[in-house]
Structure 1
Amino acid sequence: MYGDPATIRKILTEVGDTWAIVGLSGNRRRAAYGVAEVLQRHGKRIVPVHPKAETVHGEKGYPSLSTIPFDVDVVDVFVNSDLAGEVADEAVAIGARAVWFQLGVVDEAAHERVRAAGLEMVMDRCPAIELNSLSQRARRA
């Protein structure tokens, strides 16, 4: 498993509410679009990061993590696994507190580098699914 329940809960509830979503564009058919919408519904500020730097869900986009002019808590990665390590390294460089690789995005070496830098890290999981699970558990409690 690439994200133990305690780490997932910590990232979703304690790390911070500003989520840079790498790969998020205005394309409604892409998974990143729907996940960003769910994150917003759960009180997260989303920051689209895409070469087109589009405004998505009312939030201004940026072409790269390094061009975001404010602090980012979590970097959510919607790129192919072979590109994810570079994004993870950039997340460390900008001072993010956590990195989240989406479903299907796996890079063991990047995971090790991110953890060695002191950041929280989850791979091959979806924060929208995990947020919905947390909400359902909270309602049952």
Structure 2
Amino acid sequence: MAIQRMDNVGIVVEDLAATVAFFTELGMELEGEAQIEGPWADQSVGLAGIRCDIAMMRVPGGPGRLELARYHTPAAIPADPQSPPPNTLGLHRVMFAVDDIADVIARLRPHGAELLGEVARFQDSYLLCYLRGPGGIIVALAQEIG
């Protein structure tokens, strides 16, 4: 049996509206929102009494999706430290290919985006950068050049 596809990447957030606005400004589309609760949610996730709001964001015309979740119960557990560096073990960033890296950075700054370093050039292939968004989410951007 073969894997069919990677369906989505889940990110637990503190401020769902701000995070949706951030990824919308990046260029993703809001596919839908829902409240998740009930025995099936508890059973599949392995937590008791789940009640959370989710927003599904999709890449326009592509297969990539993010599931943003704001837990009401049980309460979300803060990361330690709150803003881990990029070399922390575990899932730490999501990368997007963009047309104009400078434009994307400028549009995301009003949504709280902060560059972690600077825009770097990799040979004659890419401009690359990491930035931190709402709740400490690290987003990497790559612009193909040449």
The TM-score bracket by the shorter chain reads under 0.3
Max radius of gyration: which structure? 2
More strand by share: 2
TM-score (norm 2): 0.25
